Structure 1
Amino acid sequence: MAIGVLALLGFQLVDSAFIARLGTAPLAAQSFTFPLSFLIIGVQVGMGIAIAALISRALGAGEIARARRLGTLVLLFGGGVIGVLALLLWVVQVPVFTLLGADEGALDYIRRYWGPQLFSSWLGALLYFVYSLFRAHGDTRLPGKMMVLSSFVNLALDPLLIFGVGDWPGLGLPGAAWATAIAFGVGLWVVGRKLVGKRWLAREGVLDEAHASARGFLGIAGPAMIGQLMPPLAAMLAISAVAGLGDVQVAAWGLANRLETVSLMVILAMTMSLPPWLGRCFGAGDWTQIHALMSLALKVAVCWQLALGVLLALGAPFVADVLAGSPDVREALTLLIRFLLPSYAALGVCMLVVSAGNALGWPLRAMLLSSARLFAFYLPCLWIGAALYGWTGLAAGAAAGNVLAGLAAWYLLRRILSRPQRRARAPG
């Protein structure tokens, strides 16, 4: 899954690197769309978390038929919800992006880019739901391989559709969205054929299962989606603050967001692969294994992310030179990398605790922790830093918010797992 996440997020970073060659204005326009794109991702991830938790628990309890019915539900219901959300975001694009601080020049780029981007997001959501089924059944290899395949397809199409070939001038900014849509479409076709050969879906009893599982689904999906929607909302507030500093800072912030997701590849892989394991242990009442899994995950998160963050911070000028086309954007991005990348070790701890909460039966606490990370730590520190010291203060404040959130998550996890009925018993 880590390899697959690296490939998937890597091609998104490549998208931004190619777009940076079009100029600062197209890159800034794309950066304005990130919060709303993350909104779609938040809804799909929240639904995927709920379904994966329910399916893994059903499998842990030996309820194979119910797991198949739940698999059918996620594809039908999830695809419909994301489709409606995409249409809504297309209708309200002008007032929303204007509210975020986009000027008329940025809106002109966004109008041509937003339609194909929403279509690619819908295809990506369908692909994610299919991946969730495979992960819930313990298969992480195929989703990882398909992420790599989709990345290569996108990488091959990006320069052709953005810059053109021969006498054809290319599509510019919209070409990046169409390349992603085609890549997701290829992935969906391949993985869909694989899914047909599995006996993980049901044709009968789906409506009855929807009625029976609605409460359990909403009990997990509701808090999970709210928790997943907090980052897009925080991203909107953050970019509105960044927009006041200029297009250069908006462009650098967008590149830093792409780099953030790539640098968190191991954490994101664990948030996808760990919950099905935890769900099965939860269904079987095996808290000893839950303790062992969480301990290992947190150690990997801190050690890996801190080492990677320090390495990238030391090489910040080189990384910025590769990603950014403008010298001003490179300078602004270098500062962000030096402050933010090491702080992702603490952010990774928070992300893992939130992901585990949805699998272990405390989704409300997970939602509250996710909200606190953003609105009690991250945004206040970011705003205070920006108000006091401008761009440098904003970067330092964002990093401080990540560290505080990680400490709070670690404290919460220790308190919950230390309860008598959840203490791990010594082996034997």
Structure 2
Amino acid sequence: MAAVMHQKELAITLWHQTWPMAIGVLALLGFQLVDSAFIARLGTAPLAAQSFTFPLSFLIIGIQVGMGIAIAALISRALGAGEEERARRLSSLVLMAGGGVIGFLAIALWVLQVPIFELLGADETTLSYIHIYWAPQLVAAWLGALLYFSYSVSRAYGDTRLPGKMMVLSSLINLGLDPLLIFGVGDWEGWGLPGAAWATAIAFSVGLLISMHKIVRRQWASQRGLWREAQQSWRPFAGIAAPAMVSQLMPPLAAMLAISVVAGLGESEVAAWGLASRLETLSLMVILAMTMSLPPWLGRCYGAGDWGQIHQLMGLAIKVAVLWQLGLGVLLALVAPWLAMALAGNPDVQSELSLLIRFLLPSYAALGVCMLVVSAGNALGWPLRAMLLSSARLFICYLPCLWLGSQLFGWWGLAAGAAVGNLLAGFMAWQVMRRILSRPHRQAGFVN
């Protein structure tokens, strides 16, 4: 009975840790989907242009998430070991260094935009739309990275409510500004495609100002002894961040390769794929929330040596992921035609998007398992294994199945191949996690 009560308490705690992040992720990803829905009203070409920028936007997100994973792990471990002053120094370091790294990357992507997008398959018309959109989008991405780093600090200190509230607030601001800046009001015609990026930049700026004020007021950051802390912490930071960033960079690279395959099928297919990418992240909101809320909790358990709770927590998280994601996927697959009609104005895009929804959404139950195992690996001292699992998911399971399906059966085969790739990845991750969980008291099972 005690074990049952403990399991119930664990589930309640998981719920309280996850639901604020789930609401925030829903709001954040919801406004991104609304962005694409508004842009779709401008025409297929602007929507295709935005779709071409997704892989590079994911590249920036991958680096920021990798850095955030490392710093959240180190801060949570320091707190678990009672080293509060060191945790404050680590918070300051990630905010300063992270902003510099993402800023440098944004400048490089602006300078190299033409060869990169030509390599991805963008034609001259699409490049003209990308050119006016890419600069404000990079500004928004940099602000979003700084905001994400502030979320990482909050989550490491066990506060998931602040990031959740800021995601909701920035989403509401973006939602209000989108139609105004894209389509204009009265005699002002608006900015069109760049208006969507500027709306996001303004929304992120407001969220960043509030989040930084909260961090300073709660004394979660310190400027004393930063240089010495940087010298002491860069090796453990790199040991977690490097594999985590490589792991997070795999999806953008895979997205670039995937969209190059989709580009060979036509402009409407690229537009449908872009909408499906937005819908994918939105439908995975609970999984994404758990990948944010679980690692700091796991990191504190790791610092305290509580391996029993780690095993119970991961088993519970995987069960929740499969049941939730499978139910949501089946439901959205049943309403696929109506959902596609709401998101896309072009009938061809609607038809192609509907097919993607039917195949992909149910398969995200397996994808969610893989995402949870990878995020746990970065928090529990086996980042290399997590990186290898993430790479295998994309380059052994997902991309080969997607490419083979498109070669054999065109658009239908591409959708089916992507779904099969997700299923294979989920099964592989489950096998890895089962082997680890079968060693309930052996720390060696969590070491590379």
TM interval, shorter chain, is over 0.9
* Displacement after TM superposition at 1:198 (Å): 1.1
Query: What is the aligned counterpart of 1:285 among 294, 305, 322?
Result: 305
Report whether the alignment pairs 1:421 with 2:441: yes
What is the Cα deviation at residue 420 of structure 1? 5.8
In structure 2, the partner of 1:191 is 211
Q: With the length of structure 1 as denominator, give the TM-score of the two structures.
A: 0.98
Does the alignment pair 1:203 with 2:223? yes
| Alpha-carbon distance, 1:417 to partner | 2.8
Note if 1:242 corresponds to 2:238: no
- Matched position secondary structure for 2:148: helix
Please state if 1:252 is matched with 2:272: yes
2:83 matched to 1:56? no
Partner of 1:173: 193
Contact 2:311/2:440 (8 A) holds in 1: no
1:148 match: 168
User: Which one of the candidate residues 138, 145, 158 is aligned to 1:118?
Assistant: 138
> SS in structure 2 opposite 1:221?
helix
1:162 matches 2:182: yes
1:20 match: 40
1:135-172 superposed Cα distances (whole Å, 9 cap, x missing partner): 00000001101100000000000000000000000000
Q: What is aligned with 2:416?
A: 396
- Aligned-pair identity in percent equals 78
* Of 365, 377, 380, the match for 2:397: 377
Q: Could you say which residue in structure 2 is the equivalent of 1:45?
A: 65
TM-score (norm 2): 0.94
* More divergent stretch after superposition (104-113 vs 204-213): 204-213
Q: Distance in 2 between matches of 1:120 and 1:23?
A: 23
Give yes or no for the alignment of 1:32 onto 2:52: yes
Q: 5+ unaligned residues in a row in structure 2: which ranges?
A: 1-20, 444-448
Task: Determine whether 1:346 maps to 2:385.
Answer: no
Name 2:345's counterpart in structure 1: 325
Checking the alignment, whether the CA contact within 8 Å between 2:307 and 2:440 is kept in structure 1 is no
Instruction: Give the root-mean-square deviation of aligned CA atoms.
Output: 0.7
Equivalent residue of 2:122, what SS?
coil
1:230 aligned to 2:250? yes
Give 1:414 deviation, angstroms.
Answer: 1.4
Aligned to 2:4: none
* Alignment counterpart, residue 410 of structure 1, candidates 430, 442, 445: 430
Worse-matched range after superposition: 36-45 or 406-415: 406-415
What are the superposed Cα offsets for residues 225-263 of structure 1, whole Å, 9 maximum, x if unpaired? 000000000000000000000000000000000000000
Distance 2:437 2:97 in 1: 34
Cα deviation code 1:281-314 (max 9, x no counterpart): 0111111110111011101100000000000000
Q: CA deviation at 1:109?
A: 0.1
How many residue pairs align between the two structures? 423
Q: Structure 1 residue 394: deviation in Å?
A: 0.2
Matched, 1:274 2:294: yes
The more displaced of 168-177 and 288-297 is 288-297
Query: Match for residue 14 of structure 2?
Result: none
Amino acid at match of 2:291: T
Corresponding residue of 2:232: 212
